[in-house]
Amino acid sequence: MHSTSRRLLAAVTVSTVVAVVGTACSSGSGSTGTKSADSGTYTIWDPYPQFDKTSAWAKLLDQCGTKAGVKIKRTGFDTSDLANKTLLAAQQGNSPDVLVVDNPVVSTLAEAGVLTTTDDNKLDTSKVDANLLAAGQLGGKTYGTPIGANTLALYYNKKVLKEAGVDITSVKDWTSLTAALAKVKKAGKKGITFSAIGTEEGSFQFLPWFWGAGANLTRLDSSQGVSALSLWADWMQKGYAPNSVLNNTQTTSWQEFASGDYAFSENGTWQLANAEKAGFDYGVLPIPAATGGNAAAPTGGEFVTIPVQSDTARYATSQKLATCLTSTQNLYATDTTLSYVAPTAEVQDKQVAANAKLKPWVAAVKAAKGRTSDNLGTKYPKISEQLWKAVQSALSGSKTPKEALSAAQPAAR
């Protein structure tokens, strides 16, 4: 068997796990599609099935096709299906010309030999923030360019904090945040809600605290990692966070905050529209690191990639399409539609100028980090599973934080 074929077969199994890491991305139902035999038609697959042919996104694809002198055949898949569909298509020699895919899946597809590198396809990534581009890098090579990013931060209820006598400008690190939670509880209100469910969502929400402590995913049981898990466990023991966090998804956690009783909620950019509808004044604060500054939160969002084709003459047009989709003008429009922060400083500045409420989100994204960064690649899903299991064990009280992470480390290797 050809080495690429072997990698593809192995990757189909891996991608079943990796596909669930689309924590912060849109989902819906899609239909399968195949590449047209007509050389003047180029196929694009994306994880936005909620956008039909009348949407601004679909019209943008057609506009980019017209600009490149080709017709576009576009198919939107559910995020959880897209990785497997792509791997199977590659096995059959029927890959799409352009693939928009959730950033943690890039390394799986790259390792399987499905994607071309930016050295090969000549995509220009020079303006992209390095921390965001890292999510699409493996073994020193880059396999696409981000179309946008979302991440986590702390929403806060201004009225609750005011009644508790908390000045939000005083919240700069874990000590001051915990002190604020103590004041809120003393005032008869509720502290902080988040998602610690035993899925990727739980790992996703724990990572800012884990990374904010200075911990690394290659060593779950480090003293820094233990301190992060101890922080969450301590909040629960003192009643600053509810027991419901053990089963909360990011959606149900948001619903708790939207009740108006909580001071803080850890959630994402995608809740901005709901925040406007909440009926109370809110603010947004980047998640603080243990000793101050902004913690690295994990990035959601997709990469525009160019899959390997047997007919390499197609790459030139595919590059034109990918470049069009990620141009400064089109990034601004698309990222506004998707509630994403743009991956370049130029477009980020335009976003903040148009909507000042995006300023803390831009700061959070600039400090953010890809889950597969640090060259973890396809190792991430296994590590993440052990991390969320450790969080569950510690918060449920079945193990101490140190015991939970010590048990997780050997299983995550």
What is the C-alpha to C-alpha distance for residues 163 and 226, in angstroms, rounded to an integer? 33
Give residue-wise pLDDT tens across range 264-282. 999 999 999 899 999 999 9
> Which contiguous run of DSSP H or E holds residue 386?
helix 380-396
What is the C-alpha to C-alpha distance for residues 99 and 86, in angstroms, rounded to an integer? 8
Q: How much is the average pLDDT of 196-212? A: 96
Give residue-wise pLDDT tens across range 381-391. 999 999 999 99
Q: How much is the average pLDDT of 344-355? A: 96
- Indicate the SS3 state at residue 361: helix
Residue 7 has pLDDT above 70, yes or no: no
Residue-level pLDDT at 80: 79
Q: How confident is residue 29, by pLDDT bands cut at 50, 70 and 90?
A: very low
Residue-level pLDDT at 402: 98
Is beta strand 71-76 parallel, antiparallel or unpaired with respect to 41-46?
Answer: parallel
Residue-level pLDDT at 26: 37
CB 57 within 8 A of CB 337: yes
Range list of H helices, 125-249: 130-133, 158-163, 174-186, 200-212, 223-237
Q: How much is the average pLDDT of 255-264? A: 97
Residue-level pLDDT at 36: 40
Report CA-CA distances (Å) from 401 to 36, 205, 220, 404: 54, 16, 11, 5
Superfamily of domain 3-149+300-367: Periplasmic binding protein-like II (3.40.190.10)
Residue-level pLDDT at 266: 98
- Bridge-partner residues for 152, per DSSP? 268
What is the C-alpha to C-alpha distance for residues 391 and 394, in angstroms, rounded to an integer? 5
Residue 176 has pLDDT above 80, yes or no: yes
Give residue-wise pLDDT tens across range 113-136. 999 999 999 999 999 999 999 999
Domain 152-297+376-411 sits in CATH 3.40.47.10: no
List of residues 6+ apart from 355 with CB closer than 8 A: none
Q: How much is the average pLDDT of 76-92? A: 92
> What values do phi and psi take at 71, rounded to 5?
-95, 150
Q: How confident is residue 216, by pLDDT bands cut at 50, 70 and 90?
A: very high
Q: Hunting for tokens 């990692």 — which residue is that?
A: 225
Q: How confident is residue 79, by pLDDT bands cut at 50, 70 and 90?
A: confident
What is the C-alpha to C-alpha distance for residues 198 and 44, in angstroms, rounded to an integer? 34
Q: Torsion angle of alpha carbons 47, 50, 54, 58, nearest 10°?
A: -10
Q: Torsion angle of alpha carbons 257, 261, 264, 270, nearest 10°?
A: 20
Residue 157 has pLDDT above 50, yes or no: yes
Residue-level pLDDT at 149: 95
Q: How much is the average pLDDT of 283-294? A: 97
pLDDT, averaged across the chain: 90
Asked, colleague to colleague, whether 3-149+300-367 and 152-297+376-411 share their fold, the answer is yes
Q: Six-digit token pair at 135?
A: 């999510």
What is the C-alpha to C-alpha distance for residues 343 and 320, in angstroms, rounded to an integer? 19
Give residue-wise pLDDT tens across range 93-109. 999 999 999 999 999 99
Residue 350 has pLDDT above 70, yes or no: yes
- Bridge-partner residues for 277, per DSSP? none
In the chain, domain spans: 3-149+300-367, 152-297+376-411
Residue 32 has pLDDT above 50, yes or no: no
Give residue-wise pLDDT tens across range 40-63. 999 999 999 999 999 999 999 999
**Exposed (0-12), middle (13-18) or buried (19+): which is 45, by Cβ within 10 Å?**
buried
